[in-house]
Structure 1
Amino acid sequence: MSPSHQSSLEVGDSPDTTDKKIPIVETEQSPQLIAPRDATDEEIALHPHITDQVPLSAWIVILAGAAERACYFGIIAPWQNYLQNPRQQGSVPGALGLGQSTATNISNAFFLFSFLTPMGFAVVSDVWLGRYKTLMVGLLVYLLGCLLLTLTSLPIALKHGSGVIGFVWAMILIGLGAGCVKATFFPFLGDQYIQKKAKLVTQKNGKLAIVDATRTVQLIYNIYYWFTNFASLVIIAVTYLEKECDFWVAYLLCTSCLCVAILVLVLFSSKLVKISPTGKNNLPMATKAILCAAKNGFKLENAKASHQTSQKSKQVPWSDSFIEEMKRGLMACRVILCLLIFYLCINQIFNNLVSQAGQMDLHNVPNDMIQVFSGVACVIFGPVIQGLYSLLAQRKISFGPIARITAAFMVCAGAMAYAAGVQKLIYQTGPCYEYPLACEASYGGTIPNQISVWVQLPVYFILAVAEIFGFVTASEYAYSKAPKDMKAMVQAIMQLTACVASALGMALSLVSKDPKLVVMYGCLAVAMAISGVLFFWKFRRYDEKEDEMNKANIQEDDENTDKCRTPVQNEETP
């Protein structure tokens, strides 16, 4: 939704009202002007839903997040070339000369590591430091890794053999920092919007509408995703710096972007919503509740305190509402775990698709710059898809998170099928056919197969649409369904899914070599399509319960408002 549409809403604090509200129905002849107030269930069902204004604190966090993502994308974009190709040989830049299979393996190992680390940071965030402080610690570790990578990619460092060991240590530090960001950033961004109840408001055109908190959070995540993809255009500068100057210059630019992210969060710290950590680790209690459910017919309903008291005469340390939160959290985890193949396919952008571009006629464009078109496509399609969501909501057409993720799966399957077709065309083209850059006719890897790299371009546009439907929805779903004191933990489970996908990618690296790449992309396409069908068949009923679950979340948030949340609240270490 455009800023002009957002600013047209007049949203304020709710006036005192009676417990029983009579739903207001407007007529074309005389639309009623009312002060904004909490909406009744009847009004929520009757009036169109719109988004609220995005608060300043959310814009600040989005800006910092975009700068961090610019660093991340810029750092990993040249990795395949940096690892795969030897220095100053052939038409493609390089440094360490480890080969495609090893480079892909190392790339997947980094993703695996960075997706494993969020779990520990999630516990620290939810229990001890809070999301803001944990995020800042992670960013500082991240910065150390970027500085180390920049220094060890200097020509003098590479000449003295520091490249590999420097890269390994930089990868560890960057993986820790990126893992911390993955665990804490999305919950921290969601925290910036504190309004949870649906509000009945009068728009400037005199018509009544419902300010929908769920759709507003969805909008915030979509805006963030748009900004991060705009930030990913730094890849253009990075890849040209890599090609025309050197890798260390490219990495220096990325390090500067991370400094901007840290500076923004420090300077505007007082403007941000910071939720104090509870000081209580609910993970052991959640584990005990699950074990209790396992002993009682594998039903969480039977683990409720009321059931244990009435049926077993047993006292348990958790409440019924805690079990209800857990049920929604586990529901989100089941959905998130199904993103496994999706993550595996998206990861191809950073390794095998880069190598595929290197086998084609680049027309003097760096092979690792082509992936930037995924970000360009997201910048283009992001507002279009957000507009589609708004249009469907105004017409009361349901397009729930399960349907959106299913759409992401099927679109992603199409992208992998197209990539298989491109690889087939490469193998059918000379001079090296099924062994690009490896035959004598390539003159030492300087002459690729004579097919234009722009044939590959649609892969990135298709994957961009899949990412918008998939990643944004999954992040929003993980935040909205997670228990209030375990939001970073559920976000970490999402990253754990990506970790397993990276492990699969490492196994896949065994066939990530010519002439097996057509089969590899084809298998990914089939696996993704099957996953989409099974996912929708298994979870489609969750969309039917979406409004009911969101309402329950709002009620539980209200119960804890005085304890946990204020518009601007400093975290205090317990």
Structure 2
Amino acid sequence: MDEKVERSEGEIKKGQQLDQFSVTESFDQVHKEDDNYPEPTAEDWKNLREVADNVPSSAYLVILIEFCERFTYYGLSGPFQNYIQHPDPGHYPADQPGAMGKGQQTATALTTFFQFWCYITPIIGAVIADQYLGKYKTILLFSIIYFVGLIILTCTSIPSAIASGAAFPGYIVAIIIIGLGTGGIKANVSPLVAEQYRSRTAFVKTLKNGDRVIVTPQATYQKIFNMFYWGINIGSLSAIATTELEKNVGFWPAFVLPTLMFIPCIGVVLLGRKRYVQHPPRGSVFVEAGKLFWLSTFKVKGGMEACKPSNLAVTHPDIAAQVTHDDVFVDELRRALKACVIFLWFPIWWLCYQQIANNLISQASTMLTGNVPNDIMQNIDPIALIILIPIMDRLIYPGLRRLKINMRPIFRISLGFFFGAVAMGYTAGIQSMIYNTAPYYNHPDGETNWISAAYQIPSYVFIAISEIFCSITGMEYAYKKAPQSMKSIVMALFLLTNCFASILAFALVSVAVDPKIQWMYTGIACAAFICGILVYILHHKRDKTDIEEDAIGRSEEQMDVYNDKKEDSDKA
């Protein structure tokens, strides 16, 4: 061949000039001609282990963007519960820092609203990216919006602003703007990092030690999203610094630090603009989808299949002349909906996860924490993830693949629900211990019972394990199963499940008070355990579908493209 693709790098090499939007088909074509990287046979799939490809350098830039943004997000939100719940102590360092004095229920409600808002706004970011600007320009636009919110929050947290009563309205305005900004970024940054890997077919490769292995997109995406999530949790350690600043200096320096860190985030977005693989916006997906749903529900019998223009031309020629979608769009929308079915279970898991941002912080405030602030305890979760993710990525997953045990997405998601249930069940036990400890027993009301906050550590570790199996796999699944024209939207729908969890959390605010909290944790644990069982029973067959898609080397979407081209070639 005149031009060669170095597949081990996961990128186009040696000057090959290909249009980035048709790169998948180009890989398939080169792949068929390159004996060095043959397609795996049925025997290969049976006998060879799967490995991940190398990660492109541009993906690391996207991970750096997410690191900076998450440093800002968690650095800000770490002190939020104390900022709202407790009154201004008037001096620093303070045993219990605070600013507004609104109480635990109001603090939990507002932090829950912030999470709700941050996970509904990705829909806005997805629409703008997929229909108008593309992912890169959308990330840049929402970064600027984000920065405006940071300035407002910081300015209204200075001591004079708190004393004048500006902290509360300033906080409300700021979290609305920041939530809009973070939602626009979140919907697009995770699809963007996956798009940097451009190979879509499995191939056989011989390693330096002579072992033959199958390099699969699935293993590679799993690796990319593990690295992406690891970057998120490195950034989230900023809450350690901001909670210490909050306790010893005040809230304004706790908010200044993440605000300053967001400047490099914008810089990385701008400086890397020529290196990212970018896909153009594909048009009004939501408008077309709305028309299609209306048509299939009220006008045409037979579901979406009957609404394809090719079928309407036979059954409803008058309607066929008016529709603006094509057959490909109908197939893509059906695949997107099929991918989203599994997301319906995720609100229960997110409900487990959300406890670390509010109620577990309040729980720690009733326990002995020594000289550290109570809200520093939430950082055990990212610390655990920073340790566990490399272990899973470098040791556990590869070790299991050597034994021909491939942990497919649905199985991992089910495990995530089980570990979430264990975390909440354990937390319920800790709450019971608090209620049985002097001097305040089951009515601590923000005072400290004589029990160490170290008992909380397993709660955070179990949540971290569940994140590896649920949250990381959910992002991977959302990207892999979504058609190219709907990557951001499907990712936004996955993030939207966190929003529904916030609605459930709002419903539980009435029981987020002593002495009822232990029963709230127990109920969440039971719900997560049941969901884990149902997820596996109802969806485990999808894991076999994943294997078949890798076995043929293409997703269903790519097979459609391939078959269409083959049909056109045969006609010619």
Q: TM-score category by the smaller chain?
A: 0.7 to 0.9
**SS of residue in 2 equivalent to 1:371:** helix
- 312-321 vs 74-83, which moves further: 312-321
Report what 2:62 is aligned to. 61
Report what 2:85 is aligned to. 84
Report what 1:503 is aligned to. 503
Tell me how far 1:297 sits from its aligned partner: 6.3
Q: Percent identity?
A: 37
Report what 2:443 is aligned to. 435
Tell me how far 1:268 sits from its aligned partner: 1.9
Residue 417 (1) aligns with residue 450 (2): no
1:152-551 mapped onto 2 (5 Å cutoff): 152-278=156-282, 280-294=283-297, 299-305=303-309, 307-308=311-312, 315=320, 318-386=325-393, 387-437=395-445, 445=447, 448-549=448-549, 551=554
Going from structure 1 to structure 2, the CA distance change for 1:50 and 1:540 (only over 3 Å counts) comes to: same
AA matched with 1:459: S
Partners in 2 of 1:36 and 1:165 — Cα distance?
A: 61
Tell me how far 1:530 sits from its aligned partner: 1.3
- 154-163 vs 354-363, which moves further: 154-163
**SS of residue in 2 equivalent to 1:545:** helix
Tell me how far 1:308 sits from its aligned partner: 4.5
Task: Give yes or no for contact 1:197–1:554 (8 Å, CA) kept in 2.
Answer: no
Tell me how far 1:547 sits from its aligned partner: 3.0
Tell me how far 1:394 sits from its aligned partner: 3.5
AA matched with 1:418: Y
**SS of residue in 2 equivalent to 1:201:** strand
> Deviations 1:472-514 (Å, cap 9, x if unpaired)?
1101111111121111111111222211111111121111111
- 89-98 vs 247-256, which moves further: 89-98
Tell me how far 1:201 sits from its aligned partner: 2.0
Tell me how far 1:182 sits from its aligned partner: 1.8
- 194-203 vs 213-222, which moves further: 194-203
Partners in 1 of 2:276 and 2:30 — Cα distance?
A: 31
Task: Give yes or no for contact 1:49–1:393 (8 Å, CA) kept in 2.
Answer: yes
Tell me how far 1:109 sits from its aligned partner: 1.2
Going from structure 1 to structure 2, the CA distance change for 1:482 and 1:449 (only over 3 Å counts) comes to: same
Partners in 1 of 2:334 and 2:37 — Cα distance?
A: 33
Task: Give yes or no for contact 1:107–1:351 (8 Å, CA) kept in 2.
Answer: yes
Going from structure 1 to structure 2, the CA distance change for 1:299 and 1:10 (only over 3 Å counts) comes to: closer
AA matched with 1:103: A
Flag structure 2 segments of 5+ consecutive residues without an equivalent. 1-5, 14-26, 566-572
Task: Give yes or no for contact 1:141–1:177 (8 Å, CA) kept in 2.
Answer: yes
Partners in 2 of 1:236 and 1:399 — Cα distance?
A: 33
Report what 2:148 is aligned to. 144
Going from structure 1 to structure 2, the CA distance change for 1:516 and 1:12 (only over 3 Å counts) comes to: same
Going from structure 1 to structure 2, the CA distance change for 1:531 and 1:15 (only over 3 Å counts) comes to: closer
Partners in 2 of 1:535 and 1:451 — Cα distance?
A: 37
Task: Give yes or no for contact 1:11–1:36 (8 Å, CA) kept in 2.
Answer: no
Going from structure 1 to structure 2, the CA distance change for 1:355 and 1:7 (only over 3 Å counts) comes to: farther
Richer in helix (by share): 2
Flag structure 1 segments of 5+ consecutive residues without an equivalent. 1-5, 22-33, 439-444, 563-574
TM-score by length of 2: 0.87
Partners in 2 of 1:298 and 1:410 — Cα distance?
A: 39
Partners in 1 of 2:384 and 2:271 — Cα distance?
A: 32
Report what 1:24 is aligned to. none
Partners in 1 of 2:47 and 2:279 — Cα distance?
A: 34
Report what 1:28 is aligned to. none
Partners in 1 of 2:174 and 2:31 — Cα distance?
A: 60
Task: Give yes or no for contact 1:413–1:525 (8 Å, CA) kept in 2.
Answer: yes
Partners in 2 of 1:311 and 1:44 — Cα distance?
A: 44
AA matched with 2:555: A
Tell me how far 1:458 sits from its aligned partner: 0.6
Going from structure 1 to structure 2, the CA distance change for 1:293 and 1:15 (only over 3 Å counts) comes to: closer
Partners in 2 of 1:11 and 1:179 — Cα distance?
A: 29
TM-score by length of 1: 0.87
Task: Provide the aligned length of Structure 1 versus Structure 2.
Answer: 535
**SS of residue in 1 equivalent to 2:451:** coil
Going from structure 1 to structure 2, the CA distance change for 1:237 and 1:19 (only over 3 Å counts) comes to: closer
**SS of residue in 2 equivalent to 1:434:** coil
Partners in 2 of 1:146 and 1:281 — Cα distance?
A: 31
AA matched with 2:185: V
